[in-house]
Amino acid sequence: MIFRRSTAAFVLCSALELVAGCSSQSSIKPAETLDERTGVTVASLEKPISLIQNAPFAATAERRVSFAYLGPVEWDNMGTISYGLWVHLAPANDWQFEDIRSPGAVRLALDGGGGALVVIGTPPLGDGPYHPVAPWGQTAYFALDPELLKRMASSGRIELDFMADGAAPVRFTAAPDAHESLMRYLRARNLAD
C-alpha cells in the first residue's frame, strides 16, 4: 500500500492520539481532510484568519463594520500539489462591494507592497476547506504559491483591499499575530526554510 505524506501523517497522529494525546496539538497544525470521492487531500488552517475593516471606514452610528477572512489551502491530488488562497468578504448590510471575482477587485498588501489577486478554479470537491462566515458574503479562491505564502508569513502587516461600488478601495487588516498562524502552516506543510 502506498501512503502519501498527508495520509501517513494522519495515521501517525491518530496512533499517537491513542497513546500520547496528539490531538492537543491540533490548534497549531493545519486541518487535513481527504475527499473520498476524488482522493484529493486538502490542508488548511483550523480557522481562517480574520481581517477587520480599517478607519476611516470603521463603524459609526450610521455604518457597521465589515469583515474579511483568508486562509491558505493545499490540494494534494496523488502527489500533484497545488495551492490557493481562500478569501471571504462579509460586508455589513450598508456596504456594497464589487464582485470579488472581477479582475483587480481584490488586492493583497504585505508591509505596504503587493498586488492584485488572480481568481483560480478549484478541484471539484464535496466540501470546501473553510466555511463562509456570512451567507450573504462573497467567497473566491485566488492564486497562491509557496513563495507568496512565505512572504505573507514573514510580513508584519497583511492587508486586503476590496473595491467598493462607487468608492475608493476599502482596506482590511489582519491581527498582528496572523503571520504566526501562517508560519505554523508552512512548517506543517514542510515549506518553511
What is the pLDDT, as a whole number, of residue 19?
A: 32
* Whole-prediction pTM: 0.79
Confirm if 146 and 152 have CB atoms less than 8 A apart: no
Alpha-carbon gap, residue 130 to 32, rounded angstroms: 11
Number of domains in the chain: 1
Angle at 125 between CA 119 and CA 130, to 5 degrees: 65
Percent of the chain with pLDDT over 90: 50
CATH of residue 12: 2.60.40
The parent domain of residue 181 ranges over: 5-188
pLDDT at 142 > cutoff 90:
yes
For residue 193, being part of any structural domain is answered with: no
User: Residue 184: in which H helix or E strand, if any?
Assistant: helix 178-188
For residue 26, being part of any structural domain is answered with: yes
Percent of the chain with pLDDT over 70: 77
What is the pLDDT, as a whole number, of residue 24?
A: 33
For residue 159, being part of any structural domain is answered with: yes
What is the pLDDT, as a whole number, of residue 135?
A: 87
Q: What is the DSSP letter of 119?
A: B
Residues forming a β-bridge with 52: 67, 173
C-alpha cell at 177: 499575530
Band (pLDDT 50/70/90 cuts) for residue 29 is low
Distances (CA, A) of 153 to 90, 106, 183, 193: 23, 19, 5, 12
Highest-confidence range of 2-16, 65-79, 157-171, by mean pLDDT?
65-79
Q: Are strands 40-44 and 31-35 parallel, antiparallel or unpaired?
A: antiparallel
For residue 45, being part of any structural domain is answered with: yes
- Stretch 50-57: mean pLDDT, rounded? 78
- Stretch 87-111: mean pLDDT, rounded? 89
Q: What is the DSSP letter of 127?
A: S
pLDDT at 37 > cutoff 70:
yes
What is the pLDDT, as a whole number, of residue 119?
A: 95
For residue 20, being part of any structural domain is answered with: yes
90 phi and psi angles, rounded to 5 deg: -115, 85
Q: What is the dihedral of CA 72, 58, 113, 132, to 10 degrees?
A: 20
DSSP assignment of 45-90, as one string?
-SSPEEEEEPTTSS--SS-PPPEEEEEEEEEEETTEEEEEEEEEEE
Least confident of 39-53, 55-69, 100-114, 150-164: 55-69
Band (pLDDT 50/70/90 cuts) for residue 17 is very low
